[in-house]
Amino acid sequence: MSERMTNILGYLTLAAILAAIWILFGEDPAREQGARGERTFAGLAERVNETAGITLSQGDEQLVVSRNDDAWQVDNRGGYPADADKVRALLRGFARSERREPKTANPARFDTLELGEAATAVTLVDETGGTLLSVRVGKRKEGGSGRSLTFVFQETDTRAWLVSGIEDVAVDAAKWLSSDLLDIAEQRVQSVTLNDVTLSRGLGGQDYEVVGLTEGETAVAGYKRSEPARTFAGLDLSDVEQTANPLMEPSGNGALQTHDGLRVSFTLFDHNDAIWAQLEADYDAARAEDGEAGELPQAPADGVAEAAALNKKFRGWLFKLSSFDADILKQKRSDFIESDVSDAAAS
């Protein structure tokens, strides 16, 4: 084969390769839709604070988080407060997102990036319903710096992109709830009652004692007696449901009382293969201790106001508990008394 013919074949091969690349990837991604390092969503940073609603959709599932005055709520859970930090992180991530790598422009390949049926459609709207952002979010990929990157596609782009900054967009209402139920300083706790047992300690004391311990009975180790107070004082929810009327039969009850007069009562219910709690707070200054052991620890300035704020949060809701927390609060007196090994062996 002559040198001239070899050159011609070489040029034809190169042209075929370039044509294939053009067909596969489309036009230059740097044209009209930004280039590497530029903001993924042009103009969003300037308007993100106008966001009044967030919709996440995947298949038949849809989650709506909306702004009510200055607070965020989860519409799918009857308007229960949303995790404000999580919402802010989501909005900040979209506003600051940057393009990292251009990807395929062929829709037939979107499924491999989870930008097809598996994609999560994200829409941000302002208070008039105007769209601030509409994007499909696909699978995540670990970046070289240890930060995860995410595949996205906008109808205004000609191709998918791998971008930075995108937070979790799980279409799971429970994950968007404000999970804090109680945040009571443990030093404030005087006693916890679980069903038929009360664990109590004096002002300034550390260890809880089993109230009514009889001769011959031995309490379990101190850390086990401390678990209920520690769990209840920092109780979190894993989901919520508006209270039905009438409620089902309770499966347990109890209360936490502080040295300064606050009491938070709970009632447990077996519901949908989980344990749910109904909570109620009240305050009585007569229950406050006289402080012989020192200052009442971290007592609020207004106990009545504290109880009212808690009841505003609790009223009308059932709270799903984690299996760990539920197991702690379901305990009874027998769980805090050491078994008599010798008697058990004799029997």
pLDDT given at position 280? 98
Residue with the two structure tokens 């799903």:
320
pLDDT given at position 5? 53
pLDDT given at position 247? 77
Q: Which residues contact 149 (CB under 8 A, 6 or more apart)?
A: 100, 140, 141, 142, 143, 162, 163, 164
Neighbours of 220 (CB within 10 A): 14
Higher-confidence position of 15 and 144: 144
Q: What is the mean pLDDT of the chain?
A: 89
User: Residue 6 — very low, low, confident or very high, per pLDDT cuts 50/70/90?
Assistant: low
Judged against a pLDDT cut of 80, whether residue 345 lies above it is answered with no
Q: Say if residues 40 and 152 touch (Cβ distance below 8 Å).
A: yes
Alpha helix ranges (H) inside 48-119: 84-96
Which range, of 201-210, 257-266, 296-305, 331-340, averages the lowest pLDDT?
A: 296-305
**Exposure string for 171-181, b = 16+ CB within 10 A, e = fewer:** bebeebbbbeb
